[in-house]
Amino acid sequence: MFDKIPGHTWLSSVATRKAAFEQNTSLWRRTPLSRFLLTRAIRLLTVFVSIPLTLSPSVSDSISTTPPNAQCNVDPGRFLNSFGNHPVQGVVVGFLDPDAATRLLQTTQAKTHMTINPDYVSNPRALVHVDGSPEKSRVVALVDKGLTVRIGDHVEFVGGHADAMPCHYIPNLIGRILSES
């Protein structure tokens, strides 16, 4: 097949073909500088890849002065609650059904780019009318575990805030009942 191409000689013996192959593929042997540079580059690459794997975090690395959710790329203004850090009082006017609570949870997590603290996922959600707010306004607040809240109870809750766990938040949380209905 190749012996009919003009200008090409066909190698008839296996030994001749092997010698020609070795002669044409000895680039590795003929260029020691390239071989040297390539091996050094591979060694440097393995060193740079292995350094982060071998370093153990020190105690000073575990004590961080940055906010707990800084590594999540969360905009701090996006999750600031309108109540500040002080407790807020209001009256319970209703409760969210489980489907509405799940939808609200998914929406909140998507908007804040954070996940709710797992301790609060299954808490019931109460609708609270905050004292001094317009008539039809409602705020959703979770009922703390061990607390029984009914419609008409005057309660105190703390606004939602970033949790100490990275990329998590604690929602509005009813902490105590001021007066029962």
Residues 134 and 174 in one domain: yes
List, for residues 103-153, the tens digit of each pLDDT value. Answer: 998 988 888 888 889 999 999 999 999 999 898 889 999 998 889 999 999
What pLDDT sits at residue 108?
A: 85
Contact (CB, 8 A) for 91 and 152: yes
* 166, part of any domain: yes
* 28, part of any domain: yes
Q: In terms of residue numbers, what domain contains 7?
A: 2-54
List, for residues 13-34, the tens digit of each pLDDT value. Answer: 556 666 665 665 555 566 677 7
92 bridge partner residues: 128
Residues 82 and 136 in one domain: yes
| DSSP H or E segment with residue 147 | none
Instruction: Provide the number of structural domains found in the chain.
Output: 2
Residues 88 and 170 in one domain: yes
* 60, part of any domain: no
* 65, part of any domain: no
Residue 94 has pLDDT above 90, yes or no: yes
* 94, part of any domain: yes
pLDDT-derived band at 58, boundaries 50, 70, 90: very low
* Overall average pLDDT of the 66-92 stretch: 66
Residues 75 and 132 in one domain: yes
Q: Would you call 128 helix, strand, or coil by DSSP?
A: strand
